[in-house]
């Protein structure tokens, strides 16, 4: 790769990565805001669960709609639209005074979030050489940890002193960055090279192709994998500050401990990025998923602060490393003309898990089911995802995209 190509790759990674970071910042802040709203608005655990689930309903719709759109109008335009949608929605939601309006806005914010993630990973996948693709996409995902870290810092320093509204206003800043993206971001060279007739195929035709015989096995595997990872992630991490409160810690202490756990996400990404081109996608996914399941089990059963923090740190490390591998792995299973559709459909189906996970905790906590059993459920879900990769997954390391 020459110097010009290297600079172009870094520029793309930086631009897409910052968008990814803003995405994570919004999701991360939401987990802290749920805990704060519970006190401000006297929410029940079921209502708290619905906040996370409505966000995921929006993400499911967004992943489907914008994934299809990305195969029609290009990756760049969809990336900008989705970024604007969730940024502006976050800013407006700072001014609402009722749960109903907050939920409506969370749907639209979720649609932006759900559409941006698979489209951004598809754009980056199509723009770098095969021998670097996995590592670069995992590095793209590592910006998620940066966003969560910023969210934890804002929540720790801003929410207690200035309120959750101020935190939401800060999360609206990406709207200005989206305008910059419109001028600076190149579209995918592979998308631009696709035959115009294939771009104009109907959405139903593209969706049918994803389930056609050549792709049926990998589509089944990806849908199971996405569902299990999203179900457990949004169930565990959106509730993380609230679970700390349920375990007897103050709101401030809970934010502090979650901030510590969040720091472990970065080495998780970097180690996954280091391994993914050396030992392959399947090995990284299975190893990090098993690590996530074990960590979830010990976190749910932790009865001392030391065990809680240690298991929480490993939970962040393994789970976010698995996410990085997932985003590298997904677009590699489809040709360019249906890559956005295939990745978007898998992410959309996965978001159904994101709807059920937060709701499950809300209703099980209300029914006085133990945290230990709840996290055991998440551990089992993660193991199912690992088994799907083991038995149905194909290795795509250094596979040339078509």
CA 110 to chain centre: 11
* Cα angle value 108/59/65 (rounded, 5°): 85
Instruction: Print pLDDT tens along the chain (402 aa).
Output: 444 455 477 777 887 888 778 888 887 888 778 878 888 898 887 888 788 778 888 988 988 888 888 888 888 888 888 888 888 888 899 899 889 999 999 999 989 888 887 788 788 888 888 788 878 888 887 888 888 888 888 887 888 888 888 888 887 877 777 667 666 777 777 777 765 655 567 778 888 999 999 999 999 999 999 999 999 988 887 777 777 777 777 766 777 777 788 788 888 888 988 898 889 999 999 999 999 999 999 988 888 888 888 998 999 999 989 998 998 899 888 988 888 889 889 988 998 888 888 788 778 888 888 888 989 999 999 999 999 999 998 988 877 777
Q: Where are the chain's structural domains?
A: 3-180+206-392
Q: Which CATH number fits domain 3-180+206-392: 3.30.2350.10, 3.40.50.10490, 2.40.110.20, 1.20.1250.20?
A: 1.20.1250.20
Helix (H) or strand (E) run with residue 318 in it: helix 305-329
Angle at the Cα of 394 (from 217 to 63), degrees rounded to 5? 60
| Other beta carbons less than 10 A from residue 6's beta carbon | 10
- Closest by alpha carbon to 31, among 233, 242, 230, 231? 242
- C-beta of residue 191 within 8 angstroms of C-beta of residue 79: no
Nearest-angstrom CA–CA distance, 138 and 230: 17
Rounded-to-10 torsion of CA 159, 162, 163, 169: -90
Strands (E), 162-214: none
């Amino acid at each position: 790769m020459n110097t010009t190509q290297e600079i172009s790759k870094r520029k793309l990674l930086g631009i897409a990565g910052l968008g990814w970071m803003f995405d994570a910042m919004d999701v991360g802040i939401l987990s802290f805001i749920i805990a704060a709203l519970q006190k401000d608005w006297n929410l029940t655990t079921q209502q708290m669960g619905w906040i996370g689930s409505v966000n995921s309903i929006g993400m499911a719709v967004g992943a489907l709609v914008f994934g299809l759109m990305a195969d029609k109008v290009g990756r760049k335009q969809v990336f900008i639209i989705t970024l604007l949608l969730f940024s502006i929605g976050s800013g407006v939601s700072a001014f609402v005074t009722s749960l109903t309006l907050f939920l409506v806005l969370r749907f639209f914010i979720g649609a932006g979030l759900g559409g941006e993630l698979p489209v951004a990973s598809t754009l980056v996948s199509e723009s770098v050489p095969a021998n670097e693709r996995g590592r670069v996409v995992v590095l793209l995902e590592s910006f998620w940890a940066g966003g969560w870290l910023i969210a934890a810092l804002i929540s720790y320093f801003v929410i207690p002193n200035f309120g959750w509204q101020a935190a939401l206003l800060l999360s609206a800043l990406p709207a200005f960055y989206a305008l910059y993206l419109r001028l600076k971001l190149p579209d995918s060279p592979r998308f631009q090279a696709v035959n115009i007739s294939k771009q104009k195929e109907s959405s139903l035709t593209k969706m049918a192709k994803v389930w056609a015989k050549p792709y049926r096995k990998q589509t089944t595997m990806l849908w199971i994998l996405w569902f299990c990872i999203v179900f457990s992630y949004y169930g565990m991490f959106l509730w993380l500050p609230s679970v700390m409160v349920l375990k007897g810690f103050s709101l401030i202490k809970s934010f502090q401990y979650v901030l510590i756990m969040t720091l472990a996400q970065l080495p998780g990404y970097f180690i996954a990025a280091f391994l993914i081109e050396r030992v392959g996608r399947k090995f990284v996914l299975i190893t990090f998923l098993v690590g996530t399941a074990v960590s979830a089990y010990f976190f749910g059963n932790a009865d001392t602060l030391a065990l809680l923090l240690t298991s929480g740190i490993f939970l962040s490390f393994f789970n976010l490393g698995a996410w990085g591998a997932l985003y590298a792995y997904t677009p590699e299973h489809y040709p360019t003309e249906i890559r956005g559709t295939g990745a978007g459909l898998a992410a959309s189906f996965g978001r159904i898990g994101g709807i059920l996970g937060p709701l499950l905790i809300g209703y099980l906590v209300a029914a006085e089911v133990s945290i230990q059993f709840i996290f055991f459920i998440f551990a089992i879900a993660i193991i199912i995802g690992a088994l799907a990769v083991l038995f149905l997954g194909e290795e795509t390391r250094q596979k040339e995209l078509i």
